[in-house]
Amino acid sequence: MTNEELKNNTEETQAQQEQEQEPITEKKEKKEVKPTWKYYEYDGSTKTKKLIIDKRGKKYLIAKENKEFGNDLGVSRLDGVSEGNVLPTHKGDEFYLVEPTAFDIIKKMKRSVTTLLPKDIGLIIAYCGIENGETVVEAGTGSAGLTMYLSQAVGKEGKVITYEKRPEFAKIARRNLEIMGSVKLNQPIIGVEEEPVEVDNTLININEEAESRKVYNVIQKIGDITEGIEEQDVDVIVLDMPDPWNVVPHAKKALNKAKGRIAVYVPYIEQSKKAVEALKENNFLDVITIECILREMDISEKGVRPSTRMIGHTGYLTFARVCPEKLELDEE
């Protein structure tokens, strides 16, 4: 076959292949079909904040009225979405929207002083046997971290009266208690002369059923508890203050003689010693002092070991029970 015949044959083959190919059509852009997102409905929250947790475990405490939330993982809409939902972000990530616990609120709240840690608060509630319907007196309020847990423990039928010497601390505590739903937004602090509290109604923009479940069982007072306790027949007294021994005689008079208990928290052992001496001088029973050390454990596929970070000494806890009164027999 000559070169010219070979060239003609190749051209005919190429032409035949082009005819057999399907005609090229313009590519149509596919429209992205976004799934309809269904949300879980929850109306049980009594708090004025929501908690968002991202995939890294970072937590964000946000106001209920916020309509959207975003960070470096994207932005999600919140308008009309209740706790208990997974929120998709515009970047394809997810946020987890849940109801915050008292512990979550305490970690994020504004503080005036150092707050007791859950390890110590739990022991106070357990050793004192604080239960629903009881009356608890607390001093001092501080940032109201302990007050929140006491409010939960005594429930709707109970009452927590908390004393604080410094008005500026009491005002910070009130805002924290509002988040928890333990005080009304316009509830006054006894002993403070001030203008009426301005109420931001958006903070209570929740349904009436949830509003009816709020506890509202905390009464705040400004005053020096070492000068006396106004309340009588109290079930439990909790003292978190520098000089609790000065309150012990007043506590003896205020506590219910059948089941009255007292808890004292102090950071230094010398303070604890003075408190114990005062309790014994006032005939309190079952006096015990303890310290709680908390150690987390790191658990992974590679093994289990104690965490390199641990919560060591925070304070000493002393517990006691008031002594019943001795009745005098009537002489015949």
Q: What is the pLDDT of residues 146-183, one digit of tens each?
A: 999 999 999 989 999 999 999 999 888 888 888 887 77
pTM of the full predicted structure? Answer: 0.75
CB distance 65 to 79 below 8 Å: no
- Check whether 82 is labelled as a binding-site residue: no
Q: Say what the alpha-carbon torsion angle 160, 244, 101, 154 is, to the nearest 10 degrees.
A: -30
pLDDT below 50 — which residues of the chain?
Answer: 33-35, 195-210
For 117, counting Cβ atoms within 10 Å of its Cβ (0-12 exposed, 13-18 middle, 19+ buried), the class is middle
Q: What is the pLDDT of residue 96?
A: 95
Long-range CB pairs of 254-260 (<8 Å, 24+ gap) are 254/137, 254/229, 255/322, 256/322, 257/322, 257/323, 257/324, 257/325, 258/324, 259/235, 260/234, 260/235, 260/236, 260/321, 260/322
pLDDT, tens digit (0-9, with 9 covering 90-100), for 240-288: 999 999 999 999 999 999 999 999 999 999 999 999 999 999 999 999 9
Cα angle 253-117-131, degrees, rounded to a multiple of 5: 45
Question: Which two structure tokens, joined as six digits, stand for 298?
Answer: 């790191």
What is the C-alpha separation between 220 and 270, in angstroms, rounded?
29
Closest CA to 239 of 194, 213, 271: 271
pLDDT for 276:
98
* Alpha carbons 34 and 73: distance in angstroms, whole number: 19
CATH number of 49-100, picked from 3.10.330.20, 3.40.190.10, 3.40.640.10, 3.10.450.50? 3.10.330.20
Parse the chain into domains and list their residue ranges. 49-100, 103-321
Superfamily the domain 103-321 falls into: Vaccinia Virus protein VP39 (3.40.50.150)
Residue 144 known to bind ligand: yes
Q: Which residues contact 63 (CB under 8 A, 6 or more apart)?
A: 48, 49, 50, 202, 203
Check the annotation: does 146 bind a ligand. Answer: yes
Mean per-residue pLDDT over the chain, rounded? 83
The reply, when asked if residue 143 is annotated as ligand binding, is: yes
How many alpha carbons lie under 13 Å from residue 253 in its C-beta half-sphere?
Answer: 9
Residue 44 marked in a binding site:
no
Exposure letters 180-216 (e unless 16+ CB within 10 A, then b): bbbbbbebebeeeeeeeeeeeeebbebeeebeeebbe
Judge whether 233 is annotated as a binding position. no
The reply, when asked if residue 72 is annotated as ligand binding, is no
